[in-house]
Copies of this chain bind each other. A is one copy, B any other.
Amino acid sequence: MKVCRRETFNSAHRLFRKEWSDEKNRDVFGKCSNPNYHGHNYVLEVWIEGAIDPETGFVIDLKELKSVIVAHIIERFDHRNLNLDCIEFEGINPTTENIARVIWNILRVKLDPKFGIEVQLSETDKNKAYYAGV
């Protein structure tokens, strides 16, 4: 049994490697490497796998899951510049893949080890990433 909570955050970012020239960054990352940043409405789905608690009928109380997501993901990344404001992406290119992995790693520490965790992150309606740990 799995349950899912969906939250959103709105951030600026750019894709680039500082050790590459502007030209190479432009070649590889295209308009996503615009030096002044662009941004997205990220849509995050966190799926938790576990057994149903026979007392409550919950795998996990989604109000509590929401609190964890808000406190540790939304508060950190919403209305922020992922490259400049978030130490989690120091030296890490904030691609959808890397953001999903960073989020998964944060949640893995904050949530009970008995739960399986899957993260799906949409950058746009057309581009998504999914991560469930290695």
Contacts and interface: CB of A to CB of B under 8 A. Distances in A.
| Chain copies in the assembled complex | 6
Contacts of A105: none
Contacts of A76: none
> Which size bracket describes the interface of A in this complex?
35 or more
Contact of A4 (B56, B85, B128): B128
* A contact patch SS: mixed
A100 B52 CA distance: 11
Interface in A23-75: 28-32, 34, 36-41, 47, 52, 55-59, 61-63
B13 A39 contact: yes
Interface of A: 1-8, 10-13, 15, 17, 28-32, 34, 36-41, 47, 52, 55-59, 61-63, 78-81, 84-85, 92-98, 100-101, 124-131
